[in-house]
């Protein structure tokens, strides 16, 4: 995969690294230093970042840095937001008040980014972990995308956001890019030429029109209907966003859309090739695990027994919520195949609206009942060890966007802190002058499956591992023929 087009990006490489041309790949990132396996090679902050819309159903996070925010009670209120959980919310609120005088409470407070929640001053509903994050997000792009001051339903920005939520929340990330370019252009004097230069800088990352870069839905190819649907979706989004932005920056917006929706489409295609999934582990699991283990050591006392009973009830309700809602919409990670439920739904799509609504209700009721039975069989030990919902989002990192793929990577990326700050860790000893490579996909599949998945990125993988497995497959085939 060509990590860059037409020269190196203006954003600097991490310290100790350099971006240079790589034959048949465009550009790649190399290190000038040696690293042992397990050592951190670099850290990086995202250029563009967004929590997945569905993930907001279970995680309260800072809109700028994606840190878990608010009190323990606040996080639980997000997970148990429905009226059916009013009782457990009330009971746990009382328990949280008891913890105020317990040393355990100070551990809870330190595990979250902030016990306070800073809200957008214009009233749009975005939340932050600090005033610094609120100000940074506003200056980055939110100043042009905030819906707080809007007082009419037909405003193009509101219509754009509804359109994005209906079809793909990546459209919201593309809007963030365009708003950020406008802010940068204005900071540099503004105008069409300045904006064009910034657009050219961004497109040095690998990109393609969205219709070419995106993958087709499971079970179908990119036929004429697919292209027509995709083009209509992009055209409508681009027209609404243009109308929303030109109110604030007519000349810069004119440059962004002087080729119609083309640049907007290229930005979406750039995301398809370069974005990575951001996953920030929830601090809730270790908080409650520590509390449960402490209580088990003194479980003979009435107070400890009563608190353990409440925690067990809380854990069962959390696990039921997870089984009901945790999936593609809350993680942003979509599978390759259509499951049996989706296939059944496709069969039901031939009916009228009333039939489809009845089908949806029946499927949901059956799934919830099944989840109740499964959760009811879990032991307390299984409950306290079960994961809590993590933050999932998508982001563009200038560093990772310039790192090529290998099915035998020497680098991995992770998010070890309570934020979207990325850490790149050596998977094996790395010597000076080595190219840094990550795996764009899971590594457990065969060479045939891996290559099929990597075609979505626009290249055929011929890394050392793939070539070795090719040779092994040929030898096995020749042996069978003898």
Say yes or no: 387 and 284 in one domain: yes
CATH of the domain at 447: 2.170.270.10
Say yes or no: 233 and 313 in one domain: no
Say yes or no: 35 and 84 in one domain: no
| Residue 61 placed within a domain | yes
Tell me how far apart the alpha carbons of residues 403 and 440 are, in angstroms, rounded to a whole number.
10
Q: Which of 339, 361, 392 is the last residue of a domain?
A: 392
Degrees to nearest 5, angle at CA 43 with 37 and 46: 135
Q: Which of 392, 424, 453 is the last residue of a domain?
A: 392
| Spatial CA neighbour of 116 closest among 99, 134, 104, 103 | 134
Backbone φ and ψ for 413, nearest 5 degrees, come out as -115, 145
Q: What residues have CB less than 8 Å from 236, skipping those under 6 apart?
A: 163
| Residue 435 placed within a domain | yes
Say yes or no: 239 and 202 in one domain: yes
| Spatial CA neighbour of 17 closest among 3, 5, 33 | 33
Say yes or no: 202 and 248 in one domain: yes
Tell me how far apart the alpha carbons of residues 332 and 355 are, in angstroms, rounded to a whole number.
28
| Spatial CA neighbour of 172 closest among 267, 75, 257 | 267
Overall domain count for the chain? 3
CA 452 to chain centre: 23
Q: Which two tokens stand for residue 299?
A: 């479980």
Say yes or no: 338 and 259 in one domain: no
> Token pair 């503004």 is at which residue?
190
Q: Which of 340, 363, 392 is the last residue of a domain?
A: 392
Say yes or no: 83 and 164 in one domain: no
Say yes or no: 226 and 239 in one domain: yes
CA 368 to each of CA 73, 87, 116, 415: distance values in angstroms, whole numbers, following the listed order: 25, 19, 34, 32
| Residue 99 placed within a domain | yes
Tens digit of each residue's pLDDT, the chain (482 residues): 444 444 445 578 999 999 999 888 888 999 999 999 999 999 999 999 999 999 999 999 999 999 999 888 899 999 999 999 999 999 888 887 777 677 776 666 666 766 689 999 999 999 999 999 999 999 999 999 999 999 999 999 999 999 999 999 999 999 999 999 999 999 999 999 999 999 999 999 989 999 999 887 777 788 899 999 999 999 999 999 999 999 999 999 999 999 999 999 999 999 999 999 999 999 999 889 988 988 898 878 898 999 999 999 999 999 999 999 898 888 887 764 434 443 343 333 344 545 556 656 777 788 899 999 999 999 999 999 999 999 999 999 999 999 999 999 999 999 999 999 999 999 999 999 999 999 998 888 899 999 888 888 878 888 889 999 887 655 455 455 44
Say yes or no: 388 and 411 in one domain: no
Say yes or no: 333 and 446 in one domain: no
| Residue 385 placed within a domain | yes
Say yes or no: 58 and 38 in one domain: no
Tell me how far apart the alpha carbons of residues 175 and 267 are, in angstroms, rounded to a whole number.
9
CA 477 to each of CA 14, 449, 472: distance values in angstroms, whole numbers, following the listed order: 45, 18, 9
| Residue 7 placed within a domain | no
Range of the domain at 85: 53-117+279-392
| Residue 293 placed within a domain | yes
| Residue 137 placed within a domain | no
| Residue 130 placed within a domain | no
> Token pair 């195949």 is at which residue?
337
Say yes or no: 328 and 384 in one domain: yes
Please report the beta strands in 226-343, taking only residues with DSSP state E, as ranges in sequence order: 276-280
């Amino acid at each position: 995969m060509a990590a860059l087009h037409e020269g190196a990006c203006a954003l600097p490489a991490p310290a100790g690294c350099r971006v240079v041309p790589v034959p048949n790949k465009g550009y790649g990132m190399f290190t000038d230093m040696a690293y042992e396996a397990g050592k951190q090679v670099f850290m990086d902050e995202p250029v563009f970042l967004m929590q997945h819309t569905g993930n907001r159903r279970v995680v309260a996070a800072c809109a700028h840095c994606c840190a878990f925010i608010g009190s323990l009670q606040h996080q639980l209120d997000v997970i148990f937001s429905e009226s059916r959980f009013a009782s457990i919310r009330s009971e746990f609120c009382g328990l949280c008040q008891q913890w105020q005088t317990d040393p355990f409470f100070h551990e809870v407070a330190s595990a979250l980014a902030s016990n306070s929640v800073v809200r957008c001053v214009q009233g749009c509903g975005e939340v932050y972990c600090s005033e610094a994050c609120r100000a940074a997000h506003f200056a980055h792009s939110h100043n042009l995308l905030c819906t707080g001051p809007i007082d009419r339903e037909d405003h193009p920005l509101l219509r754009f956001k509804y359109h994005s939520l209906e079809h793909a929340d990546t459209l919201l990330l593309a809007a963030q890019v365009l708003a950020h370019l406008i802010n940068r252009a204005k900071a540099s004097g503004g105008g069409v030429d300045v904006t064009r230069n910034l657009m050219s800088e961004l497109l040095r990352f690998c990109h393609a029109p969205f219709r070419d870069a995106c993958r087709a839905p499971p079970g179908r190819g990119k036929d004429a209907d697919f292209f027509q649907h995709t083009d209509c979706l992009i055209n409508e989004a681009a027209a609404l966003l243009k109308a929303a932005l030109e109110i604030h920056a007519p000349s810069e917006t004119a440059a962004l859309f002087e080729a119609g929706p083309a640049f907007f489409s290229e930005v979406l295609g750039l995301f398809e090739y370069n974005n990575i999934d951001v996953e920030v582990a929830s601090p809730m699991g270790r908080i409650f695990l520590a509390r449960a283990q402490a209580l088990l050591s003194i479980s003979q006392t009435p107070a400890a027994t009563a608190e353990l009973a409440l925690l067990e009830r809380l854990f069962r309700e959390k696990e039921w919520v997870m089984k009901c809602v945790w999936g593609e919409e809350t993680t942003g990670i979509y599978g390759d195949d259509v499951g049996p439920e989706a296939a059944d739904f496709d069969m039901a799509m031939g009916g009228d609206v009333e039939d489809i609504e009845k089908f949806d209700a029946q499927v949901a009721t059956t799934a919830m009942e099944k989840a109740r039975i499964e959760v009811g069989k879990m032991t307390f030990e299984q409950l306290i060890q079960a994961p809590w919902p993590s933050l999932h989002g998508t982001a563009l990192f200038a560093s990772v966007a310039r790192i090529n793929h290998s099915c035998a990577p020497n680098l991995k990326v992770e998010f070890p802190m309570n934020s979207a700050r990325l850490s790149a860790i050596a998977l094996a000893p790395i010597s000076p002058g080595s190219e840094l490579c990550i795996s764009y996909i899971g590594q457990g599949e065969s060479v045939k499956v891996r290559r099929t998945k990597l075609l979505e990125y626009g290249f055929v993988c011929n890394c050392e591992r793939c070539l070795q497995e090719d040779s092994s497959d040929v030898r096995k085939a020749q042996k069978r023929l003898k």
